[in-house]
Amino acid sequence: MKSAVGPDCPSVGARPSSRARYFRHALVTLTLAAGLVLFTFWFPSVVQLDPVAILSKHHHHHPSPGGDYGPTLDAYRLFQALPDPQKLRDRLQQYASSVHQAGVNRTDAEWTRSQWLDFGLPEVDIVTYEPLLNYPLEQRLAIVEPASLQFEADLNEPIIDEDDTSHLQREIPPVFHGHSASGDVTAELVYANYGTRGDFAQLARRGVAVKGRIVLVRYGRIARGVKVMLAEAAGAAGVLIYSDPADDGYARGPVYPDGPFRPAGSVERGSVLFMNQYPGDPLTPGEAATGDVKRLPIGSARNLPTIPSLPISYGNALPLLRALAGHGHNVSDWAGGWSGALPVTYATGPSTARIQLVNRVRNQITPIWNVVARIKGWQEPDRVVIAGSHRDSWVFGAADPGSGTTTLFETARALGVLLRAGWRPRRTIMLASWDAEEYGLTGSTEWVEDHRDWLRDKAVAYLNLDVAVYGPHFIAGASPSLVPLIYNVTRGVIVAGTNQTVYDEWVDRPEGHYVDGTPYVTPLGSGSDYTPFLQHAGIASVDFSFAGPQGLYHSAYDSFHNMAKHVDPDFRYHQAATRVLGGLLLRLADLPVIPLNLTHYATALRRHVAELELAIRRKMCPGEDNLMNPLECQRDPTVATDADAGTGPGHRSVLDLGRLYKAVDHLTERATDLHHDVDKLTAKAGAFCDRGSHKQQKKCRAQRATLNARLYHFECQFLRPEGIPSRPWFKHTIYAPGIYTGYSALTLPILRESVEEEQWDRFLTEMDAMVQLLHRAADFVKGKD
């Protein structure tokens, strides 16, 4: 491991020779001529687009030999006309007619490859890894004592008459947790609400012992793996996770099949891997699971649970909650909302009844199959824009990930059409259909680990889809440098039948805005395949969805029937998702200046420092939110310093984030300068460097290449090679999943964790390191090495 950040990031890459470019341009002219013929042949029906005008626009940008070629806007417009709701619907119906559990059926990968080749993608490979996965053998949940309460859970999602695929009972895998441990335990039951750190602390304060007992928790708030991790740390013997109707069932609205909410028999499957430690293959952290890579023994993997767990329906949870009622504390008026919506008095227990939990799984090193396509860039083949979605699902997976997978397929089809019309992307485009995401982001993580150095050098951005459509409301999470591009693209996409752009519907919603009125984009934590790209390899990433009520998540009823009846009956949101993905992809691949905004990143950093300041005040000055006097607490200023009496730092040094703010200022200035330089260059020589003499054009291209490299190698400046102290696989110092949440992001994680643990000396040391890192990033942006 290296000791500093900068050296881990690549330096400005080499450019191809101008002679090679000259021949490419000659080829472009020929291809365009051929494309014009093909184009008119293929598209008599695209009425709103005039192909001749589109192609003459190419010629408008087509320069003298030595200049460069700019098909951008026209390929963009053409792409926007291509996504077809009927094709999306048909493909989703086909996809969601069978089960796609990872590592089981290579046919899915082969089908994907042959479809993409049929669409006209030039190179499509199946890339195999061999991680540890597990499969269910035997599951049981019962109340075994006293005889009067005896109950045997069915652990099964029953047939729903009108939902065709729910009739395929023999194909639906048993309910179980991915990466769960085998075990057979009989013990009393304790109820622990959502199973958060605060919930377990509350039980401890009230004297409810968890040790040796089976813990019943409900889904929600934090990742399921974190619930199991915390229960295990508290000494529990096993964990049951159920879906309370308060969270995604009848308390929210009509249940399936009348509405999209969870019925009594529906179960949320899912992985309980401790992804907050590291995602991917448990046995090969940081390394690709291929060939004869050295694997850890299962007992040494830090992200595998050791106690058994099961996911259950609220139908199956109700008898358990009844057995708890009247035992231990009545939680009806506990702060933090401990009661759900079931008709029972929620109580902590321990129960006097004894529960048996059996979970037997087969652990197996299993091949998984990513499908990866490549369209080589015409001008800048060594810069790569990647879009991906996972393909595996727990059952039929119509929304998760069928909506993302079909959107990616439709994007592939549209790119094939552009290719046939003579277009080539300026930069290389890669599309990826990941396997085994559901077990722990495994396909993408192994691939990123396999190609880490190459990716850090070449990857411009990663665009992720997962559940692309589960409702009508656009939401996004992203690296801040991509946010202005997301606004730009969503402003240009009208949702069919609504007369409104995606952006307008987004900005009109009340739930979140920045002070300037632009819609809120969440920082990326974890929970989908962007994690290895952003947090392990330092690549700017985005993840988006059309969101709504998600009541059937990871259930057998996440089916085509539900999608077509309740979620997206005319597939207009699938169409819009394809337009957004294609828009982002084409702008990033084709615009001569890479559309990443570093000023925007700096603005976000300032906000994250303010969030940090607030977190410190909450710890050091309990009960205050007044930030008027930033270096002192309003009340007793000795409260927190007493803890470190004598040696520890005082309030002033900890509360003084001045140097951090200054470093952000420095970065902001340098970023502004960089964008100013870009504007100057394009004003003078054109974005395509097609003005002035041959020599001036050449100089323009060289300058543009340097500026572009700073734009896309910016994100990796925040990597720390040795990683975050609490979990070294995570290398990003600005964004990480919260260690006690698993999904949502913790900004400035190293500093925030020191604050959380009240390690003030460590905080000051880490703040120094962060200040240095920010100044280095500023120097990088300026071009000072």
Task: Pick the closer one to ligand NAG by CB: 12 or 344.
Answer: 344
**Of 11-19, 105-113, 260-268, 439-447, which segment contacts ligand NAG by CB under 6 A?**
105-113
Assess contact for 85 and 496: CB atoms under 8 A.
yes
Q: What angle do CA 353, 354, 359 make, to 5 degrees?
A: 145
**Cis status of the peptide bond prior to 350, with omega within 30 of 0:** yes
**Site size with ligand NAG, rule: CB under 6 A:** 21
**Binds ligand NAG by CB under 6 A, chosen from 45, 48, 148, 499:** 499
> x/- contact string, 581-600, with ligand NAG (CB under 6 A)?
----------x---x-x-xx
Query: Which CB atom, from 356 or from 488, has the smaller least distance to ligand NAG?
Result: 488
- CB closer to ligand NAG, 273 vs 584: 584
Among 120, 484, 549, 650, binds ligand NAG (CB under 6 A): 484
Q: Which stretch in 102-110, 305-313, 451-459, 757-765 sits in contact with ligand NAG by CB under 6 A? A: 102-110
Point out the catalytic residue in the list 130, 268, 437, 505: 437
* DSSP per position, 352-414: SSEEEEEEEEEEEE--EEEEEEEE--SSEEEEEEEEEEE---SSS-IIIIIIHHHHHHHHHHH
Q: What CA–CA distances, in Å, run from 748 to 522, 607, 769? A: 14, 11, 12
Q: State the DSSP string of 172-224.
A: SPPP-EETPPPEEEEEEEEE-TT--HHHHHHHHHTT---TTSEEEEESBSB-H
Residue 755: which of 664, 672, 657, 661 has the closest Cα? Answer: 657
Region of 204 on the Ramachandran plot (φ > 0 left; ψ -120 to 50 alpha; else beta): alpha
Is the Cβ of residue 600 or residue 752 nearer to ligand NAG in the bound state?
Answer: 600
In three-state secondary structure terms, 724 is strand
If binding is defined by CB under 6 A, does position 107 make contact with ligand NAG?
yes
Of 331-390, which residues contact ligand NAG (CB under 6 A)? Answer: 332-333, 345
Check residue 508 for interaction with ligand NAG (CB under 6 A). no
> Cβ 723 to ligand NAG, closest distance in Å?
30
Of residues 89 and 327, the one with the C-beta less far from ligand NAG: 327
Contact 436, 271 (CB under 8 A): no
Asked if 111 touches ligand NAG (CB under 6 A), the answer is yes
- Cα–Cα distances in angstroms (integers) from residue 101 to residues 104, 120, 436, 501, in the given order: 6, 28, 8, 36
Question: How many helical (H) and strand (E) elements, i.e. helices and strands, does the chain have?
Answer: 24, 20
Three-class SS state of 607: helix
- Return the number of the residue (225 or 402) whose C-beta is nearest ligand NAG: 402
Candidate residues 128, 182, 330, 744; the one interacting with ligand NAG per rule CB under 6 A: 330
Candidates 128-136, 488-496, 573-581, 719-727 — which segment interacts with ligand NAG by CB under 6 A? 488-496
Taking CB under 6 A as the criterion, the residue among 56, 98, 156, 744 binding ligand NAG is 98
Q: What is residue 13's DSSP assignment?
A: P
Q: Please report whether residue 105 would count as binding ligand NAG according to CB under 6 A.
A: yes
CA gap 86, 14 in Å, rounded: 44
Nearer to ligand NAG, 133 or 230 (CB): 133
Binding of ligand NAG at residue 603 (CB under 6 A)? yes
User: Can you tell me the distance from the alpha carbon of 781 to that of 785, in angstroms, rounded to the nearest whole number?
Assistant: 10
Specify the stretch interacting with ligand NAG by CB under 6 A; choose among 8-16, 106-114, 659-667, 692-700. Answer: 106-114
Q: Smallest gap, in angstroms, from Cβ of residue 33 to ligand NAG? A: 27
Which one of 10, 492, 637, 721 is in contact with ligand NAG (CB under 6 A)?
492
Q: Is 704 in the site for ligand NAG (CB under 6 A)?
A: no
Q: Which is nearer to ligand NAG, 98 or 182 (CB)?
A: 98
Least separation in angstroms between residue 589's CB and ligand NAG is: 13
Three-state SS annotation for 670-696? HHHHHHHHHHHHHHHHCCCCCCCCHHH
- Residue 430 main-chain phi, psi, to 5 deg: -125, 140
437 is catalytic: yes
Closest contact distance (angstroms) between CB of 73 and ligand NAG is 7
By the 10 Å C-beta count (0-12 exposed, 13-18 middle, 19+ buried), 722 is classed as middle
Q: Which of 18, 501 has the CB closer to ligand NAG?
A: 501
Which of 491, 659, 698, 782 is in the footprint of ligand NAG by CB under 6 A? 491
Cα gap 150→142, rounded to integer Å: 7
Residues that bind ligand NAG (CB under 6 A): 98-99, 105, 107-108, 111, 330, 332-333, 345, 484, 488, 491-492, 499, 591, 595, 597, 599-600, 603
Which residues carry out catalysis? 437
